Amino acid sequence: MATDILVPHLGDSVLEATIIKWVKQEGDFVNTGDTILELETEKANFEVAAETSGVLKSIGRIENEDVEVGDVLGSIDSSAKAEKSSTKTEKPTEEAKTPEAIIESANAEKIKATPVAQNIAKQENIDLAAVTPTGVGNKITKDDVNKHVQSAPDKTADTTSESVSSELFPSLSQLNSNREKRVKLSRRRRTIARRLKEAQNSAAILTTFNEIDMSSVMGLRKRRKDQFKEKYGVGLGFSSFFIKACVGALKLFPELNAEIQGEEIVYKNYYDIGVAIGAEEGLVVPVIREADKKSFAQIEHDVKNFALKSNDGTLTLDELMGGTFSITNGGVYGSLMSTPIINPPQVGILGLHNINQKPVVIDGEIVIRPMMYVALSYDHRIVDGKEAVQYLVKIKELIEDPETLLIEG
C-alpha cells in the first residue's frame, strides 16, 4: 500500500515552499516520524516527517523546485515493513562489517550544515567533512564553505600540450564560466524582495533622522553589566534599552503602532516589537511579544535566543508572525546612516546605526561624546511628519536619560 507524501500546512498565509533537499532517497526504509525532506518557506524551514513506516517508493519533486501546500512530493510503500524486518536476520556483508565503513557512517552523522551551506557544497562538489565549522553548535555555515572554496589550492595543470594550449588560449566559454555564476534565488530571498517592493509600492514611506548621545546608556551598562550577567545569565546590551524606549514612545504616538486595513486604521493596544536579524538565509524579523510587560533581562534573553535560532534556521512561524513595530540595527555592520524600509502591514521602523566618538557642543563647550544616528521610516498615509519627528525626539530623550525608562514604565 502506497502512502502519498504531501506538502503539509505551513502556517497562516504561507502557501508555497521550496524543496531544500531530500534527506532520504528512493529505496530507503523510513520509520514513522523520520525526516524525509526539508522545505524552505518565506518565514522558516520545515522538516517533513514520514507519517508511516515503509520504503520510500518514489520521489516526485526535485530539490530547488517550488511546491504548494497539498502537493504530492512522493510516496512510501508501507507494505514493505515485513520485508524490512526479515532482512534484519540476513548476514551483513563484509563491507558493512569493516571498521572503516562504520567510522565513515558515524562521521557523516556528526556533520551539521545549514541548508544554504549544503546547497553551495553540492554545487561546488565539496565534501562537507573537509570544511571547518564555525557556526553555533559546530554547524557549517555558508561562510565556512565559501572560505573553504577560496582557500582550496588550484589543481595542478596537466603537462600535455593540449592542457598548455588550453591555459594559454582559453576558449570564450571557459572565460565566461569563470566570470559569472548563476544561483537560484532562495524562497526567503524572493519573499524579501517581493515584500520590500510591495512596501515601496503601497506605502508612502518617509524617513526622519536624529542623533543620540549614548553616554548615559553606555555608562549604565558599564556599571551594571557584571551584576546583570551574574544575576540573569545574559549580557546587558543596547537592544533592551531601545525596545523599552520604542514602547514608551509608541504609547504617546499610537499612530506608529497601528496599521491600515481597507479604509480603517487599526490601533494596537499591545506592543509586539520585531527585531531584524541578518540570518544566513536572509533577513528575518522575529517578534518579542508584549514587550511592554517584559523586563530588561527577559528582552535580552529573547534577543539572544532569536539570534541563535536564526543562525541554526530553527525559528518557528509563530516567532516570525505579526509584530506592531520593528527595529533594525545596521550599526552592527558599521553603517553610519540608512533609510530602513517598513515591514508591512506595520507603519514604522526604527533604524539604529554605528556609535562614533564626535565633538559636540554642550553648555557652550566642545566635548567628545559617543553619538549614534537614528532613523525612523514611517508610512505617511497615517503618520504625519510632526508625530514622526516627535516620536524620534522621545526616543532620544529616553535613551539619553535611561532612568526615565523605569520611572515612566
Q: Give the residue among 349, 402, 357 at the shortest CA–CA distance from 374.
A: 349
What amino acid occupies position 132? T
Distances in Å between the alpha carbon of 100 and those of 91, 104, 110, 111, 121?
18, 6, 16, 17, 24
Residues designated as active site: 380, 384
Could you tell me the maximum CA-CA distance found in the chain, to the nearest angstrom? 90
Cα gap 230→220, rounded to integer Å: 16
Q: Which three cell numbers, joined as nine digits, stand for 216? A: 548615559
How do beta strands 273-275 and 325-329 pair?
Answer: parallel
Helices (H), 98-170: 99-110, 115-124, 142-151, 161-168
Distances in Å between the alpha carbon of 79 and those of 56, 84, 286?
11, 10, 43
Q: Which three cell numbers, joined as nine digits, stand for 342? A: 517598513
Alpha-carbon dihedral 333, 339, 341, 347, rounded to 10 degrees: 120
